[in-house]
Structure 1
Amino acid sequence: MITTIKTIRNEGLFERGDIIGVGVSGGADSMCLLHFLNQNKERFQIELHAITIDHKLRENSEKEVAFVKDYCKKNGIKFHKFEVNVQELVEEEKLSVEEAARKARYGVMDALLSKNIVTKICLGHHMSDQAETVLLNLFRGAGLSGAKGMEVVRGKYVRPMLYTSKEEILEYVQTNNIAYVTDESNFENEFTRNYLRNQIMPLIKDRFPVAEQNLVSFSRFAKMDDDYISGVMNIDGMIKEDYYVKIPTSYFLYKEPIVNRMLRHALEHLNVSKDVEKKHIELIKEMVKDAVNGVKISLPNKVTVHKEYDYITVVSKEKKYGFESEKLKSGTLEIRSFGKIIVKRTYEVDITKGTHIVDVVKVPTNAVWRSRKEGDVFTKFGGGTKKLKEYLIDKKVPSRLRDATPVLAIGNEVLIVAGLDISDKIKVDENTKSAYIIDYVIKQ
Structure 2
Amino acid sequence: MLVNRIQNSLNKTFGLDQQSRLVVGVSGGVDSLALLHLLHSAGYNVVAAHFNHHLRQEAEGDAQFVAQTARDLGCAFIRGDGDVAQMAATEKLSIEAAARKARYLFLFAEAERLEAQAVVTAHTADDQVETLLMHLIHGSGLNGLRGMQPRTLLNPYSSKIPLVRPLLDTWREELEAYCREKQLQPRVDVTNADPTYLRNRIRLELIPLLAGYNPRIKERLTGLAANARGSLEVLEDAISEKYRQALRASGVGFRSFDRALLAAHPPATRLEIIRKAALEILPNSQDIDRAALVRGAALLDGSVSGLQANLADGLDTQVAGDRLTLVLAGSPVIQPEWPVSPANRTLELTVPGFVQLENGWGIEAQWLEVEPDLVFDSNNSPNAAILDAGSLTLPLTIRRRAPGDRFQPLGVETGSLTVGDFFTNVKMPREARVGWPLVFSGNQVVWMPGYRLAETAKVQKNSRELVQLRLVQKS
Same-fold status (TM-score > 0.5): yes
Q: Counterpart of 2:349 in 1: which secondary structure?
A: coil
The alpha carbon displacement at 1:95 in A equals 2.4
What is residue 305 of structure 1 aligned with on the other side? 317
User: How far apart are the structure 1 equivalents of 2:181 and 2:345?
Assistant: 67
Asked if structure 2 preserves the Cα contact closer than 8 Å seen for 1:305 and 1:313, the reply is yes
Are the structure 2 counterparts of residues 341 and 287 from structure 1 closer, same or farther at C-alpha, using a change threshold of 3 Å? Answer: closer
The alpha carbon displacement at 1:112 in A equals 0.9
* Structure 2 residue 408 is matched with structure 1 residue 398: no
Which of 163, 173, 195 does residue 201 from structure 2 map onto? Answer: 195
Q: Which amino acid aligns with 2:281?
A: L
Asked if structure 1 preserves the Cα contact closer than 8 Å seen for 2:318 and 2:326, the reply is yes
Q: After alignment, is 353-362 or 171-180 more displaced?
A: 353-362
Deviations 1:132-166 (A, max 9, x none): 10110111011011111111111211000011111
User: How far apart are the structure 2 equivalents of 1:316 and 1:151?
Assistant: 23
User: How far apart are the structure 1 equivalents of 2:400 and 2:14?
Assistant: 51
Matches within 5 A, 1:174-189: 174-189=180-195
User: How far apart are the structure 1 equivalents of 2:434 and 2:368?
Assistant: 34
Are the structure 2 counterparts of residues 391 and 206 from structure 1 closer, same or farther at C-alpha, using a change threshold of 3 Å? Answer: same
What is residue 99 of structure 1 aligned with on the other side? 97
Q: After alignment, is 252-261 or 75-84 more displaced?
A: 252-261
Deviations 1:300-354 (A, max 9, x none): 221221112222111112458998864763377677xx65774555446599996
User: How far apart are the structure 2 equivalents of 1:75 and 1:211?
Assistant: 37
What is residue 435 of structure 1 aligned with on the other side? 467
What is residue 392 of structure 2 aligned with on the other side? 363
Q: Counterpart of 2:51 in 1: which secondary structure?
A: strand
With the length of structure 2 as denominator, give the TM-score of the two structures. Answer: 0.79
What is residue 257 of structure 1 aligned with on the other side? 268
* Structure 2 residue 218 is matched with structure 1 residue 206: no
The percent identity for this pair of structures is 20
Which of 289, 293, 301 does residue 289 from structure 1 map onto? Answer: 301
Asked if structure 2 preserves the Cα contact closer than 8 Å seen for 1:328 and 1:369, the reply is no
Q: Counterpart of 1:379 in 2: which secondary structure?
A: coil
User: How far apart are the structure 1 equivalents of 2:212 and 2:59?
Assistant: 34
User: How far apart are the structure 1 equivalents of 2:454 and 2:304?
Assistant: 30
User: How far apart are the structure 1 equivalents of 2:280 and 2:269?
Assistant: 16
What is residue 271 of structure 1 aligned with on the other side? 282
Q: After alignment, is 431-440 or 137-146 more displaced?
A: 431-440
User: How far apart are the structure 2 equivalents of 1:436 and 1:302?
Assistant: 44
User: How far apart are the structure 2 equivalents of 1:332 and 1:214?
Assistant: 65
Which of 329, 332, 343 does residue 317 from structure 1 map onto? Answer: 329
User: How far apart are the structure 2 equivalents of 1:310 and 1:22?
Assistant: 44
User: How far apart are the structure 2 equivalents of 1:116 and 1:428?
Assistant: 59
The alpha carbon displacement at 1:8 in A equals 2.8
Q: After alignment, is 159-168 or 108-117 more displaced?
A: 108-117
Q: Which amino acid aligns with 2:178?
A: Y
Asked if structure 1 preserves the Cα contact closer than 8 Å seen for 2:298 and 2:304, the reply is no
Deviations 1:84-128 (A, max 9, x none): 222222332232221221111111112112323433111000001
User: How far apart are the structure 2 equivalents of 1:49 and 1:377?
Assistant: 60
What is residue 248 of structure 1 aligned with on the other side? 258
What is residue 336 of structure 2 aligned with on the other side? none
The alpha carbon displacement at 1:259 in A equals 1.4
Q: Which amino acid aligns with 1:361?
A: G
User: How far apart are the structure 2 equivalents of 1:3 and 1:188?
Assistant: 33
Q: Which amino acid aligns with 1:91?
A: A
Matches within 5 A, 1:136-151: 136-151=134-149
Are the structure 2 counterparts of residues 432 and 122 from structure 1 closer, same or farther at C-alpha, using a change threshold of 3 Å? Answer: farther
User: How far apart are the structure 2 equivalents of 1:412 and 1:161?
Assistant: 62
* Structure 2 residue 93 is matched with structure 1 residue 62: no
The alpha carbon displacement at 1:254 in A equals 1.6
Unaligned runs of 5+ in 1: none
Are the structure 2 counterparts of residues 245 and 78 from structure 1 closer, same or farther at C-alpha, using a change threshold of 3 Å? Answer: same
Asked if structure 2 preserves the Cα contact closer than 8 Å seen for 1:343 and 1:436, the reply is no
User: How far apart are the structure 2 equivalents of 1:327 and 1:26?
Assistant: 52
User: How far apart are the structure 2 equivalents of 1:63 and 1:148?
Assistant: 36
The alpha carbon displacement at 1:394 in A equals 8.6
The alpha carbon displacement at 1:58 in A equals 1.7
Q: Counterpart of 1:212 in 2: which secondary structure?
A: helix
Q: Which amino acid aligns with 1:97?
A: I
Asked if structure 2 preserves the Cα contact closer than 8 Å seen for 1:377 and 1:388, the reply is no
User: How far apart are the structure 1 equivalents of 2:344 and 2:118?
Assistant: 42
User: How far apart are the structure 2 equivalents of 1:71 and 1:442?
Assistant: 55
- Number of residue pairs matched by the alignment: 434
Deviations 1:348-395 (A, max 9, x none): 659999643544433356987442879755228xxxx99977976797
Which of 113, 131, 134 does residue 132 from structure 2 map onto? Answer: 134
Are the structure 2 counterparts of residues 114 and 177 from structure 1 closer, same or farther at C-alpha, using a change threshold of 3 Å? Answer: same
Matches within 5 A, 1:338-377: 339=359, 342-347=362-367, 355-356=383-384, 358-359=386-387, 360-363=389-392, 369-371=399-401, 376-377=407-408
Are the structure 2 counterparts of residues 154 and 367 from structure 1 closer, same or farther at C-alpha, using a change threshold of 3 Å? Answer: closer
Q: Which amino acid aligns with 2:401?
A: S
The alpha carbon displacement at 1:288 in A equals 1.0
Are the structure 2 counterparts of residues 328 and 97 from structure 1 closer, same or farther at C-alpha, using a change threshold of 3 Å? Answer: same
What is residue 28 of structure 1 aligned with on the other side? 30
Are the structure 2 counterparts of residues 349 and 185 from structure 1 closer, same or farther at C-alpha, using a change threshold of 3 Å? Answer: farther
The alpha carbon displacement at 1:81 in A equals 1.7
User: How far apart are the structure 2 equivalents of 1:119 and 1:36?
Assistant: 18
Which of 409, 416, 420 does residue 378 from structure 1 map onto? Answer: 409
What is residue 238 of structure 1 aligned with on the other side? 247
Q: Which amino acid aligns with 2:384?
A: H
Q: After alignment, is 70-79 or 226-235 more displaced?
A: 226-235
Deviations 1:38-66 (A, max 9, x none): 0102xxxx411100111222222222222
User: How far apart are the structure 2 equivalents of 1:361 and 1:110?
Assistant: 55
Are the structure 2 counterparts of residues 319 and 207 from structure 1 closer, same or farther at C-alpha, using a change threshold of 3 Å? Answer: closer
Q: After alignment, is 274-283 or 386-395 more displaced?
A: 386-395
Q: Counterpart of 2:390 in 1: which secondary structure?
A: coil
Q: Counterpart of 2:166 in 1: which secondary structure?
A: coil
User: How far apart are the structure 2 equivalents of 1:285 and 1:257?
Assistant: 10
Are the structure 2 counterparts of residues 411 and 141 from structure 1 closer, same or farther at C-alpha, using a change threshold of 3 Å? Answer: farther
Are the structure 2 counterparts of residues 73 and 245 from structure 1 closer, same or farther at C-alpha, using a change threshold of 3 Å? Answer: same
What is residue 408 of structure 1 aligned with on the other side? 439
